[in-house]
Homo-oligomer: A and B are copies of this chain.
Amino acid sequence: MRPPVYYELIKASSEGMARRGRLHTPHGTIETPVFMPVGTQATVKTLSPEEVAGMGAGILLSNTYHLHLRPGEDIVRDAGGLHRFMNWQGAILTDSGGFQVFSLSALRKITEEGVAFRSHLSGEPLFMGPEESMAVQNALGSDIMMAFDECPPFPADRDYLTQSLLRTTRWAKRCIAAHKNPDRQALFGIVQGGMEHDLRKLSAEQLVELDLPGYAVGGLSVGEPKPLMYEVLEYTTPLLPKDKARYLMGVGSPDDLFEGVLRGVDMFDCVLPTRIARNGTVFTSKGKLVVRNAQYARDFAPLDDACDCYTCKNYSRAYIRHLIKADETFGIRLTSYHNVYFLIKLMEKIRQAIETDTLLSFKRSFYEAYGYEN
């Protein structure tokens, strides 16, 4: 019997390690590579589920740590699960909560058992380990659950990285044992090992042995220089099975999407499009634009004249700037919509370019227009 989520490789490109595939889930089939919008608190900030689905998004990420704290996974479970709670018909991936426990909470203490920490909202003392993470994710009912891992900081020494990755493997095994719904929720593993090739190899080997339907390359985008992240990806993705999905967590700037895809990544997620939108910054085909700047007060052009999204078809930079300056929520709805659309459509074009073996030339022309160094 097939697992509830499985990856289907359609085409391995001759350009880098790029590949076209499909991710089959209980809530629809996702064309990959894919960008997953983030709905941290069971909502993609400012947007309706219909708006997000209408852009072509088939899978969202939501955060286990945040939903555990508020409203609590028991409420989500009693509502019929996260899909029904938030009115999302597509697939959902939940992270393990590990990253937020390390980065957001206060006074954390890591032991073999798990992590003791204090809520960043209430200060309440809490504990999360592999079993707790699985229990929360089982209650949320996501299609893809992530194993509870330890994400070391950058830089970290080899000894620490080694101990940490071995613990992450032990925790992954405990996650498998604790997972209550293997028939309808898939569990992905997370490869650690810092910026050390041999440690990545060790971590990947141990996790691949567990035969999970997908693997994330963890411990990246934690402050290291971008070339180093690309280098780690370059030697880590080949360590993973070709018939399993590969996921680069928390990464979503346009250049990282291109570079990740060229290094064999299938899945990405990032809060970047909605976060910068709230500051009045938008992606355009000619680079980032800070629409709240005074220079756009009388600019009646759309955010990006090469864009055909709802925002760009109907509203001017001057109007959006006015709304943002006037603290009107509809302004950040419009910029959020545009930014998420931009990344969804960029990934759609990347998939087409893989199909037609034109990814490198598409990358060159995109970078040139965007202002990235080629």
Binding site for B on A (CB under 8 A): 41-43, 45-48, 66, 70-71, 75, 78-80, 85-87, 297-298, 300, 314-316, 318-319, 321-323, 325-326, 328-333
Whether B314 contacts A70 by the Cβ 8 Å rule is no
Whether B329 contacts A78 by the Cβ 8 Å rule is no
Q: How many angstroms between the C-alpha atoms of A43 and B321 in the bound complex?
A: 13
Whether B47 contacts A322 by the Cβ 8 Å rule is no
Q: How many angstroms between the C-alpha atoms of A298 and B325 in the bound complex?
A: 37
CB distance from A307 to the nearest CB of B (A): 16
List B contacts of A78 (CB < 8 A): 298, 300
Whether B45 contacts A322 by the Cβ 8 Å rule is no
Whether B328 contacts A41 by the Cβ 8 Å rule is yes
CB distance from A274 to the nearest CB of B (A): 10
Q: How many angstroms between the C-alpha atoms of A323 and B46 in the bound complex?
A: 11
The 19 listed contacts between A and B (C-beta, < 8 Å) are: A41-B326, A41-B328, A42-B319, A43-B328, A43-B331, A46-B329, A47-B330, A48-B333, A71-B321, A71-B326, A75-B318, A75-B322, A78-B300, A79-B318, A79-B319, A85-B319, A87-B319, A329-B333, A333-B333
Whether A41 contacts B322 by the Cβ 8 Å rule is yes
List B contacts of A316 (CB < 8 A): 79, 85
Among B297, B314, B326, B329, point to the contact of A329 (Cβ < 8 A): B329
Whether A330 contacts B43 by the Cβ 8 Å rule is yes
Q: How many angstroms between the C-alpha atoms of A51 and B321 in the bound complex?
A: 21
- Known contacts A79-B318, A87-B314; 18 further A-B pairs (Cβ under 8 A): A41-B322, A41-B328, A42-B322, A42-B323, A45-B329, A46-B333, A66-B326, A71-B321, A75-B298, A78-B298, A78-B300, A79-B316, A85-B316, A85-B318, A85-B319, A87-B319, A329-B329, A329-B333
Closest B residue, CB atoms, query A66: B326
Q: How many angstroms between the C-alpha atoms of A35 and B179 in the bound complex?
A: 54
List B contacts of A80 (CB < 8 A): 300
Among B42, B86, B326, B329, point to the contact of A70 (Cβ < 8 A): B326
Whether B71 contacts A322 by the Cβ 8 Å rule is yes
Closest B residue, CB atoms, query A313: B87
Q: How many angstroms between the C-alpha atoms of A315 and B332 in the bound complex?
A: 22
Most buried by B among A42, A47, A66, A78: A42
Q: How many angstroms between the C-alpha atoms of A48 and B329 in the bound complex?
A: 10
CB distance from A341 to the nearest CB of B (A): 15
Whether B329 contacts A79 by the Cβ 8 Å rule is no
List B contacts of A329 (CB < 8 A): 45-46, 329, 332-333
List B contacts of A315 (CB < 8 A): 87
Among B43, B79, B318, B330, point to the contact of A300 (Cβ < 8 A): B79
CB distance from A297 to the nearest CB of B (A): 7
